[in-house]
């Protein structure tokens, strides 16, 4: 198995945390919290995909 790509692992955990936050916000009936977590999820996943593309182009993947 290859080495762990720590930045990508961080983005994966951050995205999972945002998804968990969406579930908690829905459970608490917080519309603002739900939208905040959705927006955070979009940004985190976007940065993660961007980082992965740069790593692929640099030959690190």
Per-residue model confidence as pLDDT tens digits over 7-61: 999 999 999 999 999 999 999 999 999 999 999 999 999 999 999 999 999 988 8
Tokens of residue 23, six digits: 């579930």
Three-class DSSP category at 41: helix
- pLDDT range class, residue 4, cuts 50, 70, 90: confident
Q: Are 26 and 34 in contact (CB under 8 A)?
A: yes
Helices (H), ranges, 1-61: 6-27, 31-57
**3 has pLDDT over 90:** no
Q: pTM for the full model?
A: 0.85
Statement: residue 1 has pLDDT above 90: no
Position 2 pLDDT exceeds 90: no
The domains of the chain are located at 7-55
Can you tell me whether residue 56 is helix, strand or coil? helix
């Amino acid at each position: 198995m290859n080495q762990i790509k720590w930045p990508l692992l961080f983005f994966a955990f951050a995205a999972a945390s945002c998804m968990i936050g969406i579930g908690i916000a829905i459970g608490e009936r917080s519309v603002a919290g739900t939208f905040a977590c959705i927006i955070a999820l979009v940004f985190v996943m976007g940065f993660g995909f961007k980082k992965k593309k740069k790593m692929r182009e640099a030959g690190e993947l």
